[in-house]
Chain A
Amino acid sequence: MEKKRLDSHKDLSLWEIIAPVKRQIYGAMAVSAISSLAWVVSLVLILPIGREVLSDAPDMGRLWQLWGLMLIAVVIAFVLRTLSFNFAHLGAFRLEKILRTQLTTHLAKVPLGYVISTGSGALKKVLMDDVLSLHTFVADTTPFIARAYTTPFVALILMFVVDWRMALLSLAVFPIGMVAMYFGTKDNATERIAYDAAKEQINRSIIEYVQGMQVIRTFDDGTTSFQRYHDALTEATKTEQNWAKKSQVGAYVSRTLFAALPTLAIITPIGIWGAQQGLIDIPTLIFFVFLAPTVAEAPVNIMWMNMPLNQSKAGVKRIGKLLDVPIQPEPARSTPPHDASVTFKDVSFTYSGRKDAALDGVSLRMEPGTVTALVGPSGAGKSTVAQLIPRFWDVNAGAVLVGDVDVREMSSDDLMKQVSFVFQNPYLLHDTVRENIRLGKPEATDAEVEAAAKAAQAHEFILNELPQGYDTLAGDRGTQLSGGQRQRITIARAILQNSPIVILDEATAFADPENEAKIHSGIANLTAGKTLIVVAHRLSTIQDAHQIVVLDKGRVAESGDHDTLVATDGIYARLWNKFTEAQGWGLRRTSKPSIVATGEVPQ
């Protein structure tokens, strides 16, 4: 079972997804079924009670017994019902935890590149919202399903046992009701698709409208975007109304018919007539007055259950899709790297869903302790090269070697020990600054943490500018740190990690130009003696690199040091000229202002 589920999540049904807690859920359903049974039994007791009371000489002792039985049955019915919902709820909560653990464990095994390109927002939606969308089904619907089927089924059997003619009569509303229900629901499959699409459209336009609002309001009062929002809503509303119109008569008729009173209105008069004719006795008639409505209401109850089922479907699909992302294979035995070199051998790589190769036959060698700069226009493949080293993705052809060992022959533990990276978005946990740095080496002492912070030029601001020093909470919900401060904390973390290979996305180093100098000396400390790979955006910082690799359209176009490359008059030379132009750019006055600017500087 477990194996099968991992093999194909695509067709994951709600029943399969609750497998981890199925014993609890099936238990809850069984309890619910017993509760329904007890409930029906309590109703059935009306028959002997009625007969006893209406007999010429009612036996008080027997009446007491029957009443006692009824009391017990009713108490059992309601206690078990509450318990079954309780079980199901507890199971649903446990399922949430199990699924989230399963999903996050899976995420740790899929290519990191997938996680990064999917983004935390989209992942959060699956991990939180979609998992939550199962709750109504698992917690509320499962016991209800057991009840919705057991009660009418048992009641119907007993009704036929007691009097088959009256039982048939109790089903009188069914022919018309079923036909109405058929017409009310026959378009459901197709209409639901349109409706779901419309709902999706509403949500999309809400998101777009809300997200774009700030921007849009700086253009005008929001007329254009409001129109788009308005149109999308109108369109979706039309679809909803259309469905309602198509199904309304059938739905109204079936909902009106499948209720207690219409059936009572049929069986009571006919039953009375039957009693007068001596065809049935009066307790039998009363018995049917009790039980027939439970059968009459069944179709509507069963129909209601489809709602949470349909609502959960989309979530289940997305959860299944995420669990379906193939994991990155780990070697059976890990070969540790021999040194801190990095080699690309004829590497080709294409992002899934794209046609054009991101890297096409790239061969490179970065010797231990050297600095390599990756340069090239955006989209040339610089970041891809950087991401392939820590195995964010696996290559399609060729091999990436760290210390002359293919990264695929290494356990991710061994590889991660070898490589540290400072990428975009300095990542801080909602925890103290100290713990955020310690993340680089969980067993580090406080002294080691502070030494790393000093080397990263972070010690000073942590002590002087943060309210609780190293114990200040960082992260989104903590003290607001500037981009430069966050950067220096992540550099301290990387320094603590002390890996022989460091990958640096230079763009991040410039996030906070006011602190540039400090970040630079932090980086210098981080990279001393290491194999350093820099994804370079600005060219001034890399003139002294041992090797500059110029990438263009996924290929290595040129490589060499700065002076050689400038002399060859190729892509690098062109980029260098542009760079010098950009550095010289300044906003220009185009016409002299009429009056001289004045600002008041308070003394």
Chain B
Amino acid sequence: MMLIYRNMMHIAGSMAGVLRASIIITMISALVQGITFAMLYPLFKELIYPRGDGGRQLLILGSIFIILVLIDAALRFVIFRYDWESYIKAGYELRIKLGTQMRNIPLESLIAQKVGELNVVLSGHVDYVIIVLTGLYNIVLYTIIAPLITLLITFFIDWRLALALAVIFPFMIPIYRNIRAVAARGYHSSAAAHEDVTSNLIEYAQGLAVLRSTRQVGAQSVRLQASLDNLLEKQSAAQTLKTVPNLLISTLVQVGILVVTLLGLLWVVDGSLNVAIMLALFAIMVRYSETLAMFGQLATMFDIVEASLARIDDLLAIEPLPVKQPQARIERFEITFSDVDFEYAADGVSNEGGRVLHDISFTLPERSLTALVGPSGSGKTTITKLITRFADPQNGAVKIGGVDIHSLEQVELMQHISVVFQDVYLFDDSIRNNIRMARPTATDAEVEAAAEAANCHEFITRLPDGYNTTVGEIGGALSGGERQRISIARAILKDAPIVLLDEPTSALDTESEVAVQRAIDKLVADKTVVVIAHRLSTVVAADQILVLEDGRLVECGGHDDLLAVENGRYSAMWAAQQQARRWKV
């Protein structure tokens, strides 16, 4: 409870003050409600056994009652207001905070988070947490404080009744605990079953062509049906497990209250209790019984909220990569790896575990062209990632222009590097803005010049709104090659002295390939270039070819030098590819 409170305050951000005020007012309002209901004791007493002062006493009590009700109404009015405003603002602030955090955490952790999960955190989990800010704490406070206050006052009215009532609550605690435990267990087992159904549904959608040809569809899809059955079974089992404790907690409270009224009846009959008090207690208990019976169901809500809070906290807790002081600036652009060892974080996405780079050392002179070649998983991509400080190597150092990239702000580092990926990501914005994002200050003329250099000016002007065409509008109408050329236009506009290319042409057909190749020629002129290459013919002219295998640098040199190596890895790859090229259907 305290933990949730602390987390709530932490997450409420600038709304923490408002939230605290709202909680205090809620507590006061609950207190007033408790007193108001307790007012029924004297009211009923005065009503049934008037003192015969012409109703003066009754008038006073009645007025107090009404005043208390008005105070409570006013307080609740204020709380509603707080709630509404604070939840809108807190949700906004929390999303901004999470968004900011995503700019600062190491890229490795960012990738480890998985896009889908991050979406869930920023949209769903934030909403859940906001529910607490809006209403949940409110319900809890009313459910606990108001009955307690009334109970406390009951002690002064008739201690036997109060004691009898107080005995009911301890009974609730073990059942309440049981509900939470059962709910948590059910939640976990259904969550696992859910995940299983999700992946099976994705597999089903992806493999429908194959599944159809073997008639394993719909109800005949054995695997999918099995996972659906499993989910249904887990959900139902969890639900059934909850039934008994839920029943117990609600009926126990009710029956307990009725037993107390029975005691009251007996005491009334033996004359030791005022009838008015008994009836008032009855009325009060009827009001509270509903909310108390609901208490068990709140438990499940808390689990969801706790899980969401934890997930948000996890994301906020990731530390950005440290920047060594004093900060440096890059003046030259040769790239040096000295004795670099690297392994992915244990919980990294790739699950690759273990070391992916061993003792890598090389120097790439300014304005040279270097190719990274080797089988998949040999560490080519990791090397380019380390240049962008995706993560820090465990040993050794990566330097640009003699400066350890540890001492560079991310902005300073990235300002000097352009990356062209295999997969192009375009924002749902105009083509112009998609290119301009590489250099927000660029003029339209500069954007178009970059597009021209990247061989995409022509097809862009043929689009319905030219450069103002929104990517979303035409969606799939852009081919892979066209998207790739837009991303190269971005890189050309950025004009960074270091260019990293990750097999930019591997997924394209012949015609696009030529266009993209021409665009790349423009991009890499006079730059320090690192290219990951599968087709060796593209990198014959590289100044230096680094051959990687299992995270180790096994060969290095120019194309001709490497071909000259007897039984070399590179010559073997070259021979295999030359043979493959001669293959025909």
Q: Does B156 contact A (CB under 8 A)?
A: no
Q: Does B12 contact A (CB under 8 A)?
A: no
Task: Kindly list chain B residues whose C-beta atoms are within 8 Å of the C-beta of A417.
Answer: 213
Question: A124-B201, A290-B286 are contacts. A79–B247 as well, Cβ < 8 Å?
Answer: yes
Q: Does A554 contact B (CB under 8 A)?
A: no
Question: A124-B201, A269-B65 are contacts. A593–B553 as well, Cβ < 8 Å?
Answer: no
Q: Which of B65, B269, B368 contacts A593 (CB 8 A)?
A: B368
Task: Kindly list chain A residues whose C-beta atoms are within 8 Å of the C-beta of B62.
Answer: 268-269, 272
Task: Kindly list chain B residues whose C-beta atoms are within 8 Å of the C-beta of A276.
Answer: 50, 55, 58
B504-532 vs A, Cβ < 8 Å mask (1 yes, 0 no): 00110111111001001100111001010
Task: Kindly list chain A residues whose C-beta atoms are within 8 Å of the C-beta of B77.
Answer: 252-253, 256
- Which listed segment binds A: B117-125, B159-167, B447-455? B117-125
Q: How far is the CA of A601 from the CA of B552 in the complex (A)?
A: 8
Question: A124-B202, A213-B102, A228-B429 are contacts. A586–B510 as well, Cβ < 8 Å?
Answer: no
In contact, B197 and A244 (Cβ under 8 angstroms): no
In contact, A222 and B103 (Cβ under 8 angstroms): yes
In contact, B208 and A226 (Cβ under 8 angstroms): no
Question: A94-B232, A219-B437, A517-B583 are contacts. A581–B48 as well, Cβ < 8 Å?
Answer: no
In contact, A597 and B543 (Cβ under 8 angstroms): yes
B234-257 vs A, Cβ < 8 Å mask (1 yes, 0 no): 011001100100110011001100
- Which listed segment binds B: A7-15, A70-78, A156-164, A342-350? A70-78
In contact, A516 and B583 (Cβ under 8 angstroms): yes
In contact, B199 and A430 (Cβ under 8 angstroms): yes
In contact, A206 and B542 (Cβ under 8 angstroms): no
Q: How far is the CA of A429 from the CA of B475 in the complex (A)?
A: 29
In contact, B538 and A104 (Cβ under 8 angstroms): no
Interface residues on B, range: 35 or more
Task: Kindly list chain B residues whose C-beta atoms are within 8 Å of the C-beta of A121.
Answer: 202
Q: Which of B84, B201, B554 contacts A128 (CB 8 A)?
A: B201
Q: How far is the CA of A585 from the CA of B429 in the complex (A)?
A: 33
Q: How far is the CA of A241 from the CA of B481 in the complex (A)?
A: 44
Q: How far is the CA of A244 from the CA of B421 in the complex (A)?
A: 44
Q: Does B95 contact A (CB under 8 A)?
A: yes
Question: A286-B279, A538-B510, A587-B529 are contacts. A89–B213 as well, Cβ < 8 Å?
Answer: no
Q: Which of B107, B510, B535 contacts A537 (CB 8 A)?
A: B510
Q: Which of B88, B205, B235 contacts A240 (CB 8 A)?
A: B88
| Most chain B beta-carbon neighbours within 10 Å: one of A58, A108, A248, A595 | A108
Q: Which residue of A lies closest to B374 (CB)?
A: A514
Q: Does B33 contact A (CB under 8 A)?
A: yes
Task: Kindly list chain B residues whose C-beta atoms are within 8 Å of the C-beta of A226.
Answer: 99-100, 103
Q: Does B228 contact A (CB under 8 A)?
A: yes
Q: Which of B43, B437, B511 contacts A268 (CB 8 A)?
A: B43
Interface residues on A, range: 35 or more
Q: How far is the CA of A256 from the CA of B365 in the complex (A)?
A: 74
Q: Which residue of B lies closest to A285 (CB)?
A: B47
Q: How far is the CA of A255 from the CA of B83 in the complex (A)?
A: 13
Q: Does B584 contact A (CB under 8 A)?
A: yes
Question: A290-B283, A598-B362 are contacts. A585–B232 as well, Cβ < 8 Å?
Answer: no
- Which listed segment binds A: B13-21, B409-417, B462-470? B409-417
Q: Which residue of A lies closest to B72 (CB)?
A: A261
Question: A78-B293, A587-B542, A602-B553 are contacts. A100–B217 as well, Cβ < 8 Å?
Answer: no
Q: Does A568 contact B (CB under 8 A)?
A: no
Q: How far is the CA of A121 from the CA of B203 in the complex (A)?
A: 10
Task: Kindly list chain B residues whose C-beta atoms are within 8 Å of the C-beta of A93.
Answer: 231-232, 235-236, 239
In contact, B583 and A520 (Cβ under 8 angstroms): yes
Question: A377-B511, A431-B223, A599-B362 are contacts. A220–B250 as well, Cβ < 8 Å?
Answer: no
Q: Does A559 contact B (CB under 8 A)?
A: no
B347-362 vs A, Cβ < 8 Å mask (1 yes, 0 no): 0000110000001011
In contact, A275 and B204 (Cβ under 8 angstroms): no
Q: Does A369 contact B (CB under 8 A)?
A: no
In contact, B100 and A67 (Cβ under 8 angstroms): no
B68-107 vs A, Cβ < 8 Å mask (1 yes, 0 no): 0110110011001100110011011001100110110001
Task: Kindly list chain B residues whose C-beta atoms are within 8 Å of the C-beta of A520.
Answer: 580, 583
- Which listed segment binds B: A332-340, A401-409, A449-457, A476-484? A476-484
In contact, A517 and B579 (Cβ under 8 angstroms): yes
Q: Does B406 contact A (CB under 8 A)?
A: no
Within 8 A of A (CB), among B249-288: 250-251, 254-255, 258, 261-262, 265, 268-269, 275, 278-279, 282-283, 286-287
Q: Does A412 contact B (CB under 8 A)?
A: yes
Within 8 A of A (CB), among B271-324: 275, 278-279, 282-283, 286-287, 293
A220-234 vs B, Cβ < 8 Å mask (1 yes, 0 no): 111111101110011
Q: Which of B47, B107, B221, B557 contacts A272 (CB 8 A)?
A: B47
Q: Chain A's nearest CB lies how many Å from the CB of B213?
A: 4
Q: Does B394 contact A (CB under 8 A)?
A: no
- Which listed segment binds B: A25-33, A313-321, A358-366, A419-427? A419-427
Q: Chain A's nearest CB lies how many Å from the CB of B66?
A: 5
Q: Which residue of A lies closest to B547 (CB)?
A: A601
Q: Which residue of B lies closest to A54 (CB)?
A: B275
In contact, B286 and A493 (Cβ under 8 angstroms): no
Q: Which of A107, A483, A578 contacts B514 (CB 8 A)?
A: A578
Prevailing SS type, chain B contact patch: helix
Task: Kindly list chain B residues whose C-beta atoms are within 8 Å of the C-beta of A598.
Answer: 362-363
In contact, B514 and A75 (Cβ under 8 angstroms): no
Q: Does A600 contact B (CB under 8 A)?
A: yes
Task: Kindly list chain A residues whose C-beta atoms are within 8 Å of the C-beta of B381.
Answer: none
In contact, A430 and B368 (Cβ under 8 angstroms): no
Q: Which residue of B lies closest to A297 (CB)?
A: B290
Q: Which residue of B lies closest to A92 (CB)?
A: B235
In contact, A586 and B48 (Cβ under 8 angstroms): no
In contact, B576 and A516 (Cβ under 8 angstroms): yes
Q: Does B485 contact A (CB under 8 A)?
A: no
Task: Kindly list chain B residues whose C-beta atoms are within 8 Å of the C-beta of A590.
Answer: 367, 524-526
Task: Kindly list chain B residues whose C-beta atoms are within 8 Å of the C-beta of A378.
Answer: 479-481, 509, 511-512
Q: Chain A's nearest CB lies how many Å from the CB of B266?
A: 9
Within 8 A of B (CB), among A567-596: 575, 578-579, 581-591, 593-596
Q: Which of A70, A224, A512 contacts B440 (CB 8 A)?
A: A224
Task: Kindly list chain B residues whose C-beta atoms are within 8 Å of the C-beta of A289.
Answer: 40, 283
Q: Which of B269, B411, B537 contacts A586 (CB 8 A)?
A: B537
A516-546 vs B, Cβ < 8 Å mask (1 yes, 0 no): 1100100100010000101001111111110
Q: How far is the CA of A120 from the CA of B419 in the complex (A)?
A: 29
Task: Kindly list chain B residues whose C-beta atoms are within 8 Å of the C-beta of A514.
Answer: 375-376, 534, 573, 576
Within 8 A of B (CB), among A278-296: 282, 285-286, 289-290, 293
Task: Kindly list chain A residues whose C-beta atoms are within 8 Å of the C-beta of B410.
Answer: 217, 221
In contact, B206 and A425 (Cβ under 8 angstroms): yes
Question: A206-B123, A210-B118, A543-B584 are contacts. A260–B287 as well, Cβ < 8 Å?
Answer: yes
In contact, A475 and B66 (Cβ under 8 angstroms): no
In contact, A206 and B119 (Cβ under 8 angstroms): yes
A183-220 vs B, Cβ < 8 Å mask (1 yes, 0 no): 00000000000000000001110111111111111111
Q: Which residue of B lies closest to A429 (CB)?
A: B203
Within 8 A of B (CB), among A461-509: 475-477, 480, 482-483, 493, 497, 507
Q: Does B494 contact A (CB under 8 A)?
A: yes
Task: Kindly list chain A residues whose C-beta atoms are within 8 Å of the C-beta of B232.
Answer: 93-94, 96-97
Q: Chain A's nearest CB lies how many Å from the CB of B257?
A: 8
Q: Chain A's nearest CB lies how many Å from the CB of B268?
A: 6
Question: A53-B265, A599-B546 are contacts. A594–B365 as well, Cβ < 8 Å?
Answer: yes
List 12 additional A-B contacts (Cβ < 8 Å) besides A105-B218, A209-B99, A261-B33. Answer: A79-B247, A82-B246, A211-B425, A268-B43, A290-B286, A390-B209, A427-B206, A480-B351, A540-B584, A582-B517, A593-B365, A599-B556
11 contacts between A and B (CB under 8 A): A78-B254, A93-B232, A115-B208, A124-B205, A221-B414, A293-B287, A377-B509, A378-B480, A379-B479, A390-B209, A523-B585
